[in-house]
Structure 1
């Protein structure tokens, strides 16, 4: 009987460690790709950078992501948008805090994000992570945001 408690306790401990590993240390950050466009916010406080990232070789595809560089926070870089590449993509600042992302083709994934408060992950993985949802409001194809 004691042997079963040890086995059951070990399985429970292993499952708990696996759950923590999958959910807590997740980081929504992309850095490797080809820079396609840079747009500076009206006051110069932020710069939005749009990147392409190829994957999978000849049968693969292209991811795209947008990083925002904060010039007032020692050039801190944060990823705010991630998705598969489609037909049309364009970024522009509406004001110092809001970044408009226009992404068409294969469904409209356009969104206006408030820098430092909101992110968009087309795969939805970031929106299922506790560490991300505690810090940001997360949107994806499944969890959408109404356009203002």
Structure 2
């Protein structure tokens, strides 16, 4: 949340700097004043910082940014048929009283390494459940029966596929090695 507020402050400051630069540029042209180099430098610096933050959030996204302090346990644990994997769902509250709830599903490999990876992340709907189709395929139901456009249900091969409703994981250069196919809404 603090990161978002800092980004908003940076964005607003950059917009103001660009407006001030354009105002001073107009003055320099109409009143034959010197070119506003300092305003140009400040505006360009702000624009580069905003672009850098956006590019970083897009191409270096990981599920580690999930607010695990505010998480609530969801359905699970649910073991795969031969108990190779365990699926757990968690809920993340966001936005305070007027906010909503995100849901994510983590798969734990029940071997000595005990690797945990997130394979599903979406806005939580009214009807959420999980069940194993076979050893490697998890069916996740996440929909609101009263709103057909809200269905975020999917069958995922836990070794090769992930789902991120917003698509950030699908664009992330950091996460490319963690899946073969990434789905987004």
In which range does the TM-score fall when normalised by the shorter chain?
0.7 to 0.9
Cα drift, residue 71 of structure 1: 1.0
Scaled by the length of structure 1, the TM-score of the pair is 0.76
Question: Does 2:87 match 1:48?
Answer: yes
Equivalences, count: 130
Task: Give 5+ residue unaligned stretches, structure 2.
Answer: 1-40
Distance 2:175 2:153 in 1: 21
Question: Does 2:153 match 1:110?
Answer: yes
What is the root-mean-square deviation in Å for CA atoms of aligned residues? 2.4
Larger C-alpha radius of gyration, 1 or 2? Answer: 2
| Greater relative CO (CA pairs within 8 A, separation 6+) | 1
Cα drift, residue 37 of structure 1: 1.6
Are the counterparts in 2 of residues 28 and 132 from structure 1 also a CA contact under 8 Å?
Answer: no
Question: Does 2:135 match 1:100?
Answer: no
Task: Give 5+ residue unaligned stretches, structure 1.
Answer: 1-6, 142-148
Scaled by the length of structure 2, the TM-score of the pair is 0.62
Q: In proportion to residue count, which structure has more helix?
A: 2
Aligned residue in 2 for 1:27: 62
Q: 1:67 to 1:58 in 2, by over 3 A?
A: same
Q: In proportion to residue count, which structure has more strand?
A: 1
Distance 2:183 2:62 in 1: 15
